[in-house]
Amino acid sequence: MYKLKQRANKMGLLANHLKMAYCDFIADRVRKALVNDQWTMQDGENLIDDIGNVQMDLHPTEGYLLSTAKSITVHDVNGKAYIVSIQEAPILDK
């Protein structure tokens, strides 16, 4: 463990400051919340028409992972598209 911390410090990283990223988990929970009919208006109308699957940030031709970012495409009843994005924001870490 000591050698790992030494190596991390040489690379400019502090091993005890590295934080886990939960983009997959958060994206899954956001999609489930959107699919849940809790978004139905009081008059019974639902403004969300279509909810896409969680998409990973992959290289367009090679298919390898570019980042941990995830996105969900959502369409409203008028056909307007929205992209819900889940990505790490290390500058805002606590």
What is the tens place of the pLDDT at every residue in 33-79? 888 866 667 777 788 889 999 999 999 999 999 999 999 999 998 99
Instruction: Categorise residue 82: left if φ over 0, alpha if ψ from -120 to 50, beta otherwise.
Output: beta
Domain that holds residue 28: 20-92
Number of domains in the chain: 1
Strand partners, 76: 48
Task: Establish if 62 belongs to a structural domain.
Answer: yes
pLDDT value at position 15?
47
Other CB atoms within a 10 A radius of the CB of residue 34 amount to 15
Q: What's the pTM? A: 0.72
β-bridge mates for residue 54, sequence order: 72
Q: Judge whether residue 16 has pLDDT over 70.
A: no
Asked if the structure places residue 86 within a domain, the reply is: yes
CB contact at 8 A, 13 and 24: no
Percent share of the chain, pLDDT over 90: 52
Question: If you average pLDDT over every residue of the chain, what do you get?
Answer: 83
Which residues in 1-94 belong to E strands, given as ranges? 48-58, 65-76, 81-86
